Amino acid sequence: MARSQGERKRTRRKLSKRKRERGLSPISRAIQRFEPGDRVHIKIDPSVHKGMPHHRFHGLTGRVKGERGRAFVVQISDGRRGKKKAKELFVRAEHLRRQETV
């Protein structure tokens, strides 16, 4: 059988919920607002497919630059292969968590 080369390949553990978290996420997560300059964590919610970033950005922290429709523009620093590049991701609010400042 041919290997799958899709967008969600090799994400069996990363894009699955634990037993007690299964089902749709709460609506409050979808309507949360972020201001430009807020720091956010990218935590993919697998029950919402729209506005989902690529799974290699799961777990990264970035800064909100603005809004684009219903999504937020998040700037991250991608350090793959020894190089630091600034990248902009378009992510919906369901996949973002506000970073707690201590």
- The confidence score (pLDDT) of residue 102 equals 63
Task: Give backbone dihedrals phi and psi of 95, rounded to 5 degrees, phi first.
Answer: -100, 10
> Where do the structural domains in the chain lie, given as residue ranges?
35-98
* Entry pTM: 0.88
3 has a pLDDT exceeding 90? no
pLDDT digits (tens, 9 = 90+) for 30-81: 999 999 999 999 999 999 999 999 999 999 999 999 999 999 999 999 887 7
| 42 vs 14: CA distance, rounded Å | 13
Determine the CATH number of domain 35-98.
2.30.30.70
- The confidence score (pLDDT) of residue 100 equals 82
